[in-house]
Every structure is written in structure tokens, then in C-alpha cells.
Homo-oligomer: A and B are copies of this chain.
């Protein structure tokens, strides 16, 4: 039940007891989803012409650290994140990881495998995850019957393309501080879109992974977060991040003349923050 949720296990579970009116769908374990649910998850308007319950998509669970797919593995299915957090990485010729994205609820995985029929990246669960399987064959076959599926696919792929373009722009043009700032804002927005707090959240990834994602070292990420903390833009406690000034983060290009940042200024900021909320900032005086 734990180490590897294989298709066999899922069949065993789902066929174990099938409630007739549920048409084979296992509700409580969230083992199946219909097209409507998939579209909702992707934030794509599903001009619902289909409620056919035979059009169900299987769920699979992955535990922290498990790999959803690896580079070079034969491609046959796409995944949609129903819950949990992951990272996708490229491995260079020396075995070094390059983080490409941090997929979470509503994001699609595996699209890079379509072209060569082999996944071009590796997806790893950063927390326990629940993913929906979209067998690509099935998808394209259904695409000809239900044209919203087709548009869904185009939309998702195009969206992903735009996201990567923005990423390239960021890596090419922004300073370390601006990258970290935008990363935090982006995370906050995504949490907000998922219904979580955009003001206080936990990072699911290490500094190292953030650094890889942003083209920086973990030290620079750590230092930058500390600097933001001193200035009062955020609060940092390990992986707990509090967003204090989203506007400033959004428009930040460069940090104010860094040399003049004295201890006194830092202490002042710290005091304000402590007054504002009950948080333990450990920036020792």
C-alpha cells in the first residue's frame, strides 16, 4: 500500500467493492474523476456536454520523494496534480539537477514527453501527492469526440509555454533579489488560487531547490530571504514565509544601497514586525 502505488493495487482497490450508482467510482478515496472535475482543476471552462460517467480518470498516490516519471522513460500518460507538491528537474551530463518547475494543484505534468514519446524531465513528489492519470492515447481518441478536450489540451500546453517564456525572461534579465521576490509573489498567488493563505505559507522545497530553480546558489537565496526579512518585506523562519509587503516584492528590482544597511536599521525593522504579529524572528541583535 505504501511504497509503490501500482496500477494493480488500484484495480484491486476499486474492484474490491463497487457501488452500482457510483458507476465504479470510488468516492471516499478520490480514486476517480470525471472530465468535469479535470476541467475545473485546470481552471478551464468545460462547456459541459459530457457527464458520461464512463469517462473516468484514475488517481494515483505518490509519497514524498517518489518519482512520478524519469527522464527517458517511455511516455504514455499525462498527469494532473490533484493535491500535493512536486518538482520537475532536468539532469545534466554530470548528474546535476536543474529544477524546472514546482507543480501543485491544477498543474499538468508530462507534457514534455509528447514530442519524442519519452519524458524529457523527471518529476519528484515533494510531499505526498494525489495525481490524476490521463492516458495520452485515450485523451487523443476522446479529443475527436469531445472537442473541449482538444481545446483543453491546447490551452494547457500553451499556458505552460507562456509560463516558461516568463521564466526565461526572468532568468535573463532580473537580479538575484528580484528573482527571489518574484518567486515568493508567484508562490503566494498560487496558494491564493488554491484557497490557501497568500500571506503565510510553508515552502515545500529546500533553499538548494529554490536556488536551482532561480539560477542562484542556496547561499544567495538564504541571504536574500534574510535581507527581505530585515527590511520588513517578509518574515522568515526556516520554511515558514510570511508575506508582509507584496507590492514591494512585485516591483522590486534591486535592493536599496546595501552597504548602508546597519544593525540599527535591522533592529528597528524587527521591532516593528514583532509588534505587528506574533512571530519569532531569530535575527539576533
Name A's B-contacting residues (CB within 8 A).
Answer: 90-98, 100, 111-116, 120-121, 140, 143-144, 147, 150-151, 153-155, 157-162, 164-169, 171-173, 208, 211-218, 256-262, 264-266, 268-269, 272-273, 285
Q: A94-B273, A261-B96 are in contact. Are A161 and B164 (CB under 8 A)?
A: yes
| 22 A-B contacts (beta carbon < 8 Å) | A90-B169, A91-B265, A92-B173, A95-B265, A96-B173, A98-B172, A100-B169, A111-B161, A112-B162, A112-B165, A114-B157, A114-B158, A115-B158, A120-B162, A140-B150, A144-B147, A154-B157, A161-B164, A164-B164, A167-B168, A171-B172, A172-B215
In contact, B256 and A94 (Cβ under 8 angstroms): yes
Partner of A95, one of B96, B213, B214, B262: B262
18 A-B pairs besides A96-B260, A96-B265 with CB distance below 8 A are A91-B262, A92-B169, A94-B256, A94-B265, A94-B273, A95-B265, A95-B266, A95-B269, A96-B262, A100-B169, A112-B158, A115-B159, A144-B144, A154-B157, A164-B168, A171-B171, A212-B260, A217-B259
Q: Which chain B positions have C-beta within 8 A of A120?
A: 162, 165
Known: A144-B147, A172-B171. A98 touches B260 (CB 8 A): yes
Q: Does A215 lie within 8 Å of B100, measured CB to CB?
A: no
Inter-chain CA distance A40–B172, complex, in Å, is: 33
Chain B residues with CB under 8 A of A159: 115
Residues of B contacting A90 with CB < 8 Å? Answer: 165-166, 169
List of B residues within 8 angstroms of A150 by Cβ: 140, 143-144, 150
Cβ-neighbour of A98 out of B155, B169, B261 (below 8 A): B169
- Cross-chain contact of A257 among B94, B168, B264 (Cβ < 8 A): B94
* A154 CA to B75 CA, complexed, in Å: 14
Closest A-B pairs by Cβ, 10 of them: A95-B265, A114-B158, A115-B158, A172-B215, A96-B260, A171-B171, A164-B164, A115-B159, A97-B260, A98-B169
Residues of B within 8 A of A97 (CB): 260, 262
**Partner of A173 from B98, B259, B265 at Cβ < 8 Å:** B98
Q: A120-B162, A144-B147, A215-B173 are in contact. Are A259 and B113 (CB under 8 A)?
A: no
- State whether A260 touches B164 (Cβ < 8 A): no
How far does the alpha carbon of A265 sit from the alpha carbon of B95 in the complex, in Å? 6
User: Considering only CB atoms, which chain B residue lies closest to A171 in the complex?
Assistant: B171
- Which residue of the partner chain, among B96, B114, B143, contacts A155 with CB atoms under 8 Å? B114
Closest to A217 in B: B259
Instruction: Look across to chain B and name the residue whose beta carbon is closest to the beta carbon of A160.
Output: B161
Which residues of B sit under 8 angstroms from A93, Cβ to Cβ? 285
